[in-house]
Homo-oligomer: A and B are copies of this chain.
Amino acid sequence: MTTSPDSTPVLVRNMDEAAAELRARGHRVSAPRRLVLTALLAAHRPLSAEEIAEGAGGLVAPSDITSVYRNLETLEQVGLVSHVHLGHGPGRYRLAGDERRDYIVCDRCGRVDVADAEAMDAVRTLVAERLGYEARFTHFPIVGVCPRCASAVV
């Protein structure tokens, strides 16, 4: 699991598109690899390797966690998958298409919100203008105090 994106994101909607991309890059489409993809295609949130290995809440059959890690690495290199750190604890994986969704995390209550996309674009634009960086919040989300915690009496 590296910090930087291993390659350009490749957006897929289903297993067939994912399988085609894998084969185009010289990778095989094994049962354990399909299983990881099935879990991520069905998940509505980033999953840890352990969650996938345990079957993603009944979504898929349980499998070996080493294999899950190795497949996540391959899928990340291909650009089909990326991972995000929402706090401490294990990294969480999602399809590259889901990267367009940015998270914003409250460090008081732990809430994980999906950030408004236009607002995030404005933030990225401002960072580019003022700091010169093409910012991505896909690996580390924005962390702060959410409105509820900010207004709560402490």
Minimum distance in angstroms from A145 CB to a CB of chain B: 4
A126–B87 Cα distance when bound, in Å, is 23
Q: How long is the Cα–Cα vector from A107 to B97 in the complex, in angstroms?
A: 19
The contact size tier of chain A is: 35 or more
Find chain B residues with CB under 8 A from A41 CB. Answer: none
In the bound complex, residues from chain B placing their C-beta under 8 Å from that of A55 are: none
Contacts of A88 in B (CB 8 A): 1-3
Q: With a CB–CB cut-off of 8 A, which chain B residues contact A119?
A: 127, 130-131
Residues of A44-103 at the interface with B, using a CB-CB cut-off of 8 Å, are 85, 87-88
- B133 contacts A3, C-beta separation under 8 Å: no
Contact B115 A144 (CB under 8 A): no
